[in-house]
A and B are shown apart, each in its own frame.
Chain A
Amino acid sequence: MRMILAAMAIASAPGLATAGVEEVVNAHILPGFERFAAASSELDAAATANCRGAEIEEAFHTAFDAWITVSHLTLGPIEDMGLTLSFAFWPDRKDQTGKALARLITDGDPVVEDPAAYADVSVAAQGFFALERMLFDAPASDAYACALTRAIAAVLAKNANNVVAEWSQFAGVITTAGEAGNARFQSEEEARRAIYTALSTGLEFIHDQRLARPLGTFDRPRPRRAEARRSGRSLRNVEVSLRALQDLTTAFRAAPTERLDAAYSTAFDRIGSIESGDFSGVADPGQRLRVEALQVDVREIQIETMNEIGAAMGLSAGFNALDGD
């Protein structure tokens, strides 16, 4: 099962008629990116007003929610512009974010005074996880830390707005798949395949990274590997991303998906039963069981997505991606 789910490039089978691309773009993608850009601009404004405190923390959470809502949509502008890691450098097993920020702070690097220049520093020192360090991990109070916080927020907002601008173009490309002159998507099926890949990759990321990393093994749980644990968002990121992927599914599907809907319901109920928002409970045998159960729930969602969305569209896993060698 792991092998089957691991391969995310999708090869074609003769396409079954499905709509979906335009619905996904209009109901899910474009509104999601507009919210993300607006929330990032507000975060930037909050940082300018006060580089620490309740206001910027709230703006941080709102913008992070908005990012999680679109983070699976790397197809198109985000990857074309090479921005995936600039928004979110996680997992970060070697603590590259901590090291990159420490280097800037130790050197008092003046690059923080110029947002255009800051966009070129290591991506590990950019985006939400760098900002989280500045705001929640023993926040420093000096002027340099403040300038650094503002630089991270400014670049993040600029990148988010650039992505939205690009998406207004790219939306035209993906919704005219298969039409004459469209070099990117030579058939509508290709566009559907790209969206399905985003959906299945997003689910895989929740199962294999957001949940599997902190769970570790029963004998060796790894709560400190939880995503965004410093801001207590680990569980929230799982919930927000599942809601976003369900939203995508609703726009994308051509027929009702009863079993998939039930699988999502089970997962959301489970989330309500988990106490530790930062997954620190994985080290406690009783609480751990619930997080493990949530991981199984997500696996069910993955399986029903393959059955009720993928198979119904005639999509199967990639010829080369799956084979290896």
Chain B
Amino acid sequence: MPTRRHVLAGLAAATALPRAGWADVGAPTHLTAAKDPDGAFALYGLRADATLAFRVPLPARGHAAAAHPRVAEAVAFARRPGTFAVVLDCASGAVLHQLVAPKGRHFYGHGAFSADGAHLYTTENEIDTGHGRIGVWSRAQGYARIGEFSSGGIGPHEILRIPGTDCLAIANGGIRTHPDAGREKLNLPTMRPNLTIATGEGAVVAVADVPAEMHQNSLRHIAARADGLIACAFQWQGDIFAAPSSLALYRGGDTLDFLGEARHLGRTMKGYAGSVAFSGSGERVAVTSPRAGLLAVINTTSQDMQTVQQADICGVSPGREGVLATDGAGGVHRVASSHSRMKAHALAFDNHLVRISSG
């Protein structure tokens, strides 16, 4: 329970360090990491019309970013198994803080803010045991680590806050890795991925396991709709020609509803979904497969499916209309009732496109 003094201290800290809002940095709607033509890495702000709002250099190849809900501040994560993340002032480009994973831990590349922006949550590996952990960091204390709790599984990857709540959804991929063995997967025969819903204090609210008959379908990425519906995207570790669906919806309780089975979605996606997002209206959900060069959009009720072929497409996020997507050759795409490439930048966009939102 925060005391009056804590609250005041927090307010003082926030006031002492005035920060630009997102409008002040060119009004980006999305963030994405990218590689520049000269080989340098950076975090970019993208506007709704696919133009670039800002560029902030990154020390190494990025993965995903977490956008602060109010101020123009973003946390950019190194690709796993990275041990650092940087807090960037998107107005000045300054590195405000550096987050270093505690000894014996590494980050998985994703993080999420609490609704008020006071806390940042990061997905981590406790290397010795392989247990998934969620690190808690305090913005008011200069992004100091103030706590942690279990992720509810092994190999937590994406984490997000469920809109309108203070609950977190955590994609536990189920795969144990050890940095000494690179990205080698150490437990494929016994892996058991799940989606865990927890409070910001780590109390488990619900757990949905991936069914036993497809326990090698690793849950990696998730997206949430305003009403709390969660879309889950998977990466199949078995024979890709026997791949189950790469997409499921979570409506609460302990079950996942897989979509697109009739259309052999898993096989079409080469068993590999790179990112997932709801459309702007929330009617449809999109998954991308850079390996298949494909984006599939499925209506959440009728399950009608539309596919778009685009080499190396991966980042996807809600757009004003439909979804916005990015590819490794610098393309920014809008997929609504039809597909159009809005822009081609001289950049290689990285895996994820993150919407800036305060929902």
Chain A positions within 8 Å of B, measured between CB atoms, are 7-12, 75, 79-80, 82, 84-85, 90-94, 123, 183, 186, 190, 193-194, 197, 209, 318-321, 323-325
Tell me which of B35, B63, B290 has the highest count of chain A C-beta atoms within 10 A of its own C-beta: B290
- Are A321 and B291 in touch, CB under 8 angstroms? yes
Closest B residue to A11 by CB, please name it. B328
Determine the chain B residues whose CB is within 8 A of the CB of A80 once the complex forms: 309
CA distance A85 to B327 in the complex (A): 26
- Are A183 and B312 in touch, CB under 8 angstroms? no
- Are B242 and A93 in touch, CB under 8 angstroms? yes
- Are A12 and B329 in touch, CB under 8 angstroms? yes
Determine the chain A residues whose CB is within 8 A of the CB of B350 once the complex forms: 319-320
CA distance A271 to B82 in the complex (A): 47
- Are A320 and B274 in touch, CB under 8 angstroms? yes
Knowing that A10-B311, A197-B311, A325-B80 are A-B contacts, what are 15 other residue pairs whose CB atoms are under 8 Å apart, sorted by A's residue number? A9-B291, A11-B311, A80-B309, A82-B307, A91-B242, A93-B239, A94-B242, A194-B311, A197-B293, A318-B290, A319-B312, A320-B312, A320-B314, A320-B350, A321-B312
Smallest CB–CB gap between B285 and chain A, Å? 19
Smallest CB–CB gap between B190 and chain A, Å? 21
Smallest CB–CB gap between A196 and chain B, Å? 10
Determine the chain A residues whose CB is within 8 A of the CB of B274 once the complex forms: 320, 325
CA distance A93 to B239 in the complex (A): 9
- Are B267 and A85 in touch, CB under 8 angstroms? yes
Smallest CB–CB gap between B183 and chain A, Å? 7
B79 interface residue, CB < 8 Å from A? yes
Tell me which of A11, A93, A193 has the highest count of chain B C-beta atoms within 10 A of its own C-beta: A11
Closest A residue to B79 by CB, please name it. A325
Determine the chain A residues whose CB is within 8 A of the CB of B329 once the complex forms: 11-12, 190, 319
The 8 nearest A-B residue pairs measured at CB: A319-B328, A320-B290, A318-B312, A320-B314, A91-B241, A321-B290, A9-B312, A319-B348
- Are B351 and A325 in touch, CB under 8 angstroms? yes
Determine the chain B residues whose CB is within 8 A of the CB of A183 once the complex forms: 340-341
CA distance A93 to B240 in the complex (A): 10
Closest A residue to B108 by CB, please name it. A325
Determine the chain A residues whose CB is within 8 A of the CB of B291 once the complex forms: 7-9, 321
Query: What are 28 A-B contacts defined by CB distance under 8 Å?
Result: A7-B291, A8-B291, A8-B293, A9-B291, A9-B328, A10-B311, A11-B328, A11-B348, A79-B309, A85-B267, A90-B241, A91-B242, A183-B340, A183-B341, A190-B329, A193-B311, A319-B35, A319-B312, A319-B328, A319-B329, A319-B348, A320-B274, A320-B327, A320-B349, A321-B291, A321-B328, A325-B79, A325-B80
Smallest CB–CB gap between B343 and chain A, Å? 10
CA distance A194 to B294 in the complex (A): 13
Determine the chain A residues whose CB is within 8 A of the CB of B235 once the complex forms: 324
- Are B220 and A325 in touch, CB under 8 angstroms? yes
B109 interface residue, CB < 8 Å from A? yes
B11 interface residue, CB < 8 Å from A? no
Closest A residue to B110 by CB, please name it. A325
CA distance A12 to B330 in the complex (A): 9
User: Looking at chain A's contact residues, is the secondary structure mostly helix, strand, loop, or mixed?
Assistant: loop
Determine the chain B residues whose CB is within 8 A of the CB of A325 once the complex forms: 63, 79-80, 109, 157, 220, 274, 351
- Are B311 and A93 in touch, CB under 8 angstroms? no
Tell me which of A11, A80, A321 has the highest count of chain B C-beta atoms within 10 A of its own C-beta: A321
B145 interface residue, CB < 8 Å from A? no
Closest B residue to A319 by CB, please name it. B328
CA distance A190 to B293 in the complex (A): 13
| CB contact between B328 and one of A75, A82, A123, A320 (< 8 Å): that residue | A320
B226 interface residue, CB < 8 Å from A? no
Tell me which of B220, B309, B312 has the highest count of chain A C-beta atoms within 10 A of its own C-beta: B312
B94 interface residue, CB < 8 Å from A? no
Determine the chain B residues whose CB is within 8 A of the CB of A90 once the complex forms: 241
- Are B312 and A11 in touch, CB under 8 angstroms? yes
Smallest CB–CB gap between A210 and chain B, Å? 12
Smallest CB–CB gap between A82 and chain B, Å? 7
Closest B residue to A92 by CB, please name it. B241
B14 interface residue, CB < 8 Å from A? no
Closest A residue to B220 by CB, please name it. A325
Determine the chain A residues whose CB is within 8 A of the CB of B328 once the complex forms: 9, 11, 318-321
Smallest CB–CB gap between A258 and chain B, Å? 29
B9 interface residue, CB < 8 Å from A? no
Known: A9-B328, A197-B293, A324-B183. A318 touches B311 (CB 8 A): yes
- Are B79 and A323 in touch, CB under 8 angstroms? yes
CA distance A133 to B240 in the complex (A): 23
Determine the chain B residues whose CB is within 8 A of the CB of A93 once the complex forms: 239, 241-242
Determine the chain B residues whose CB is within 8 A of the CB of A186 once the complex forms: 341, 344
Smallest CB–CB gap between A247 and chain B, Å? 23
CA distance A8 to B272 in the complex (A): 13
Tell me which of A9, A10, A84 has the highest count of chain B C-beta atoms within 10 A of its own C-beta: A9
Determine the chain A residues whose CB is within 8 A of the CB of B293 once the complex forms: 8-9, 197, 321
Smallest CB–CB gap between A277 and chain B, Å? 23
B264 interface residue, CB < 8 Å from A? yes
Determine the chain B residues whose CB is within 8 A of the CB of A320 once the complex forms: 274, 290, 312-314, 327-328, 349-351
Smallest CB–CB gap between B113 and chain A, Å? 21
Determine the chain B residues whose CB is within 8 A of the CB of A79 once the complex forms: 307, 309
Smallest CB–CB gap between A122 and chain B, Å? 8
Determine the chain B residues whose CB is within 8 A of the CB of A197 once the complex forms: 293, 311
Determine the chain A residues whose CB is within 8 A of the CB of B307 once the complex forms: 79, 82
Closest A residue to B63 by CB, please name it. A325
Smallest CB–CB gap between A250 and chain B, Å? 24
CA distance A8 to B328 in the complex (A): 13
- Considering only residues 339-359 of chain B, those with a C-beta below 8 Å from chain A are 340-341, 344, 348-351
Determine the chain B residues whose CB is within 8 A of the CB of A123 once the complex forms: 264
- Considering only residues 202-255 of chain B, those with a C-beta below 8 Å from chain A are 220, 235, 239, 241-242
Determine the chain A residues whose CB is within 8 A of the CB of B290 once the complex forms: 9, 318, 320-321
Determine the chain B residues whose CB is within 8 A of the CB of A9 once the complex forms: 290-293, 311-312, 328
- Are A323 and B241 in touch, CB under 8 angstroms? no
Determine the chain A residues whose CB is within 8 A of the CB of B267 once the complex forms: 85
- Considering only residues 297-351 of chain B, those with a C-beta below 8 Å from chain A are 307, 309, 311-314, 327-329, 340-341, 344, 348-351
